[in-house]
Amino acid sequence: MTATREQELGDNLEAVRERIEAACVAAGRPADAVTLVGITKTFPISDVRALVALGVRDLGENREQELKVKAPNCLDATWHFVGQLQSNKARSVVRNASVLHSVDRSSLVKALSRAAVEEGRVLRCLLQVSLAEYGPAGAATGMSRGGVPPADVPELAAAVAAADGLELGGVMAVAPLGSDADEAFGGLETVASRLRSEHPGADWISAGMSGDLEAAIRYGATHVRLGRALLGTRTPLG
């Protein structure tokens, strides 16, 4: 970790925090209403440790292979898993993360519950909601980003709420490529409100990334997942 990189990360973090604060003010929300989750995929553990030293306490990965290496080496953070998850990787995520943002099917709920009970842990789960209907090319575009259709959220929520070792935390979504982010996140806010009416404790909305965090905050996001704005351009993994 060079002094130049430390300065770069510090400057990026300051700019991100200013964006979040400004978006909260514009939305009439307190600045501490939104949690920054730094997405560190493809970046080295030195960057992760630097972010923690700068005060970032919530970090996320979307590949199980990276999560299981980074999380044990940086225990001063709350780790979030934000990627699509295969059931056979459930135990690894349960061991290394406190929050899973991408629950999208009942078979995964069963695998996570079994692993959580056996590991003696409680995993906070967010339901990934498909916003396909807001995509410019219809359902196919939206579904490529994953998630359960809004109509199926109540059934999946009930499964998580009833599962041992799991805690229903709320919803997560990614705005479809080319969509109007305000329309997409407005739709997610409606889904989240309906979920809270049945499960009052499920009050997290994980939405918004580097390019659309302002729209997400306008529509109630409690957690924004930022990678590029915080860490810079990624080097693709093979």
Render pLDDT for 1-59 as a digit per residue (tens, 0 to 9). 688 999 999 999 999 999 999 999 999 999 899 999 999 999 999 999 999 999 999 99
> 177-198 pLDDT, tens per residue?
899 999 999 999 999 999 999 9
Residue 95: pLDDT above 90? yes
* pLDDT top residue among 93 and 143: 93
Indicate the pairing of strand 223-226 with strand 35-39.
parallel
> What Rg, from alpha-carbon coordinates, does the chain have?
17
What's the pLDDT at 142?
38
Q: Which helix (H) or strand (E) holds 36?
A: strand 35-39
pLDDT above 70 covers what percent of the chain? 94
Q: Which CATH number fits domain 3-229: 3.20.20.10, 3.40.980.10, 3.20.20.140, 1.20.1070.10?
A: 3.20.20.10
Q: With contact defined as beta carbons under 8 Å apart, do 132 and 139 qualify?
A: yes
- Domain-wise residue ranges, the chain: 3-229
pTM for the full predicted model = 0.94
Sign of the torsion formed by the C-alpha atoms of 154, 84, 36 and 56: positive
pLDDT of residue 237: 59
Q: What is the mean pLDDT of the chain?
A: 94
Find out whether 189 and 2 touch, Cβ atoms under 8 Å. no
